Structure 1
Amino acid sequence: MPKRLAVFGGALFLVALSFAAESRADTISYADAVSVLAKDCGADIKKFCRGLNLGNGRIQDCLEKNAGKVSPVCTATLASVIASIQQRQAAQAAYTKVCDHDMAQYCGDVKGEGFVLACLLKTRAATRGKCGQAITDAGWR
C-alpha cells in the first residue's frame, strides 16, 4: 500500500508540475537571447555577419538577409527568440491595463510606476489571474 501511495503522489506531483510549466511565460530576456543565439547561431554569425556591432537589430538583419545560407537550427532559433522578445515587450507595454484593477485595489496610494510594480509584486495580484501572467510574461519575476 505505501508503494502505491508513493507512486500516486509522484504522479500527482508530475501533473501539478506540468500545469505550472504550462502557465509559465515563454518570454526571454535580452541577455538570455544573446546566449541562445550565440549557441545556435554563433557559426553563422561569424561566417555571415563578421565585423558587425551588436545591437540595434544588426545581427538579426544580417541573419535574415542571409536566410538562404544560414543553418536551419539558427533560423528556427532566431524566429523563436524574436517571437519571445516581442511577447515580453507586449506584456511590458500592456501590464498597466491588465493590472489596473489590482493596482487600484492593492496599491492605490503608491505613486510612480516602478513603485507600483514593486507593490504589486508583494501582493496576491502578482501570483494570480491575468495580472500575474502579465507580470510573468513581462519578465519581472
Structure 2
Amino acid sequence: MSYADAVTALAKDCGSDIKKVCKGLNLGNNRIQDCLQKNQAKVSSTCTSTLGQVTTSIQQRQAAQTGFFKICAHDAAQYCGGMKGEGNILACLLKSKRVDNGKCNQAITDAGWR
C-alpha cells in the first residue's frame, strides 16, 4: 500500500472518527494514530481495522526500505559497480533489466519503488 493509498483509506474509513475524537491534532509524529488507538472504544470497527492494515503495510514498507541495500548489495556490485549514493544505485537497479535476484526484486517492490 502506498502512502497516498494509506492516507486515502484512513480519510475514508476514519475521517468521521478523527473529527470526533482527535479534533485539532496535527498529522505528524503519529499523533492521529496514537489518538485513534487511545480512544479505540469510541472508534468505529471499520476505522480500527483499516488503521491496523495501514499500520502493518507502512511498517512492512519501511522495513523493506531499510533492508533494501543489504539485500541488493550483490546486484548493486554486479550491475552498478562503483556507483556512489543510495539513490543512484537504486536508479541503476531499477533501469537494469538483468537483475534476476528474486529477493532484490521483491525488496524493491515491497519498498514501494516499483
- State if a TM-score over 0.5 links the two structures: yes
Structure 1 runs (4+) deviating above 3 angstroms are none
Alignment gaps of 5+ in structure 1: 1-27
Three-state SS of the structure 1 residue aligned to 2:113 is coil
Which of 94, 98, 107 lines up with 1:121 in the alignment?
94
RMSD: 1.1
- Structure 2 residue aligned with 1:138: 111
TM-score normalized with structure 1 length: 0.77
What does 1:41-52 correspond to in 2, within 5 Å? 41-52=14-25
Q: Does 1:108 align with 2:67?
A: no
Alignment gaps of 5+ in structure 2: none
Q: Percent identity?
A: 71
What does 1:1-141 correspond to in 2, within 5 Å? 28-123=1-96, 124-125=98-99, 128-141=101-114
Deviations 1:6-29 (A, max 9, x none): xxxxxxxxxxxxxxxxxxxxxx23
* Alpha-carbon shift at residue 31 of structure 1 (Å): 2.3
Rg larger in structure: 1
Deviations 1:42-77 (A, max 9, x none): 110011011111121000011001111111110000
TM-score normalized with structure 2 length: 0.94
* Alpha-carbon shift at residue 109 of structure 1 (Å): 2.2
